[in-house]
Chains A and B, each alone.
Chain A
Amino acid sequence: MPVISLFAWMLVIVFLAFIACMFEDLESDTGSQSNPNSQVQLAPEMGYIHRYYNKAISGEGLSYALACTIAGTIALLLLLKFEPVYGPKAAILAIPVGAAVGSISHMIRASVCYPGREAAHKRFEQPIYLDVFYGHLVPIATHNFIAVICITGIAYIQSHLTVLSGVSGTSNPFPLPLLCLIWGITVGAIGSSTGDIHYGTEREFQDRPFGEGRRVIYHGQICRYGDCGIRTSKDVVAFCAKYGGPATGLTFGLIVLFENWRTVIGMMLGGLTGAAWNPGIAAGCGIGLGIAVAIVLIVLNTWLVRWARKKYGPFVGE
Chain B
Amino acid sequence: MTVTPAVEEEEKKEEKPKEKFKFSFDYFNESRLGIFALVVGAIIAVAAFFPSLPAFVKGIGAIVVILWGADSVRKTARYGLGTGVPSIGVLAVGFGLVGATTGMAIGSEIYHYYGSIGILGVLAGVAFMAVVGYVSGVLANSERFIGMKIPGLERGMAELAMAGTLAIILECSIVAGSWYIGDILSPIKGYNIAPVAFIAVMFILAGFGMLQPYNSCLGADERRGRTLLMAIEIGGINCIILGAVATMSLGAVQGVPLLVLGAIVWVVFYRAYMKACMEESYAAVGTGLIKTLGG
Check B90–A116 contact: CB distance below 8 A: no
Chain B, 40-76, contact with A by CB distance < 8 Å: what is the 0/1 string? Answer: 0000000000000000000000000000000000000
Segment among A5-13, A43-51, A269-277 that sits at the interface with chain B: A43-51
How far in angstroms is the closest Cβ of chain A from B77? 12
Kindly state the separation between the CA atoms of A45 and B292 in the bound complex, as whole angstroms.
11
Kindly state the separation between the CA atoms of A2 and B204 in the bound complex, as whole angstroms.
37
Check B208–A121 contact: CB distance below 8 A: no
Check B282–A126 contact: CB distance below 8 A: yes
- Please report which residues of chain A, range 79-111, place their CB below 8 angstroms from some CB of chain B when the two chains form the complex: 80-81, 105, 108-109
Interface of B is mostly: helix
Check A57–B198 contact: CB distance below 8 A: no
Check A112–B233 contact: CB distance below 8 A: yes
Check A230–B200 contact: CB distance below 8 A: no
Check B292–A48 contact: CB distance below 8 A: yes
Kindly state the separation between the CA atoms of A121 and B293 in the bound complex, as whole angstroms.
14
From B90, B191, B219, A80 is in contact (CB under 8 Å) with B191
Check A121–B221 contact: CB distance below 8 A: yes
Check B281–A115 contact: CB distance below 8 A: yes
How far in angstroms is the closest Cβ of chain B from A4? 29
Check A230–B290 contact: CB distance below 8 A: yes
Residues of chain B lying within 8 A (CB to CB) of residue A80: 191, 193, 248
Residues of chain A lying within 8 A (CB to CB) of residue B234: 109
**Interface residue B278 (Cβ < 8 Å from any Cβ of A):** yes
Q: How many residues from A make CB contacts under 8 Å with B?
A: 54
**Interface residue A224 (Cβ < 8 Å from any Cβ of B):** yes
How far in angstroms is the closest Cβ of chain A from B229? 10
**Assuming A73-B241, A112-B230, A116-B217, is B282 touching A121 (CB within 8 A)?**
yes
Which residue among B200, B218, B293 has the maximum number of chain A CB atoms within 10 Å of its CB?
Answer: B200
- Please report which residues of chain A, range 54-68, place their CB below 8 angstroms from some CB of chain B when the two chains form the complex: 56-59, 62, 65-66
Check A73–B201 contact: CB distance below 8 A: yes
Residues of chain B lying within 8 A (CB to CB) of residue A187: none
Q: Which residues of B are at the interface with A, using a C-beta cutoff of 8 A?
A: 84-86, 89-90, 191, 193, 197-201, 203-205, 207-208, 211-212, 215-222, 226, 230, 233-234, 237, 241, 244-245, 248, 270, 273-274, 276-278, 280-294
* 8 A–B pairs (Cβ distance < 8 Å), ordered by A: A48-B292, A50-B290, A122-B221, A123-B220, A130-B287, A180-B200, A181-B201, A230-B290
Q: Which 3 A-B pairs have the closest CB atoms?
A: A120-B219, A175-B197, A47-B293
